[in-house]
Amino acid sequence: MTTPLRIAAGEHPPETILEALRDGRRVVITTRALGESHDVTLRVVDGTYYCDTPTRLHRHETLAEMRACIRKMGYAKSDTTDSVGSSGDAESTDLDSDDED
């Protein structure tokens, strides 16, 4: 198994995170919520994207859904201009969201 990419929330643009996932790597993102650090693990299994948070497991069927989650949750740099446009998703470091499971 390859070594996971370990980063802090907001450290890299979405495409860097998605590229690591496409390469078969897990991405471990350290985020802060309510004054404490938490790790979130992003991974791909059989074409399905997963976000493992301390409180929930989010599942995304498409790359576009995963990109939207990464932006919404604030895991990537917010000032990015990657090739797929954003719909202006609000960013949040809240670990519980209304994303589909």
* Pairing mode of beta strands 57-60, 48-52: antiparallel
Q: Which residue has the tokens 């493992």?
A: 52
Task: Map tokens 């599942």 to a residue.
Answer: 59
Locate 75 and state its tokens: 């895991």
Q: How confident is the model at residue 79 (pLDDT cuts 50, 70, 90)?
A: low
Confidence at residue 74, expressed as pLDDT on a 0 to 100 scale: 92
pLDDT at res. 81: 44
Residue 25 in this model has a pLDDT that exceeds 90: yes
Q: Residue 64 above 70 pLDDT?
A: yes
- Predicted TM-score (pTM) of the model is 0.74
Phi, psi of 18 (to 5 degrees): -65, -35
Helix and strand tally (H, E) in the chain? Answer: 2, 5
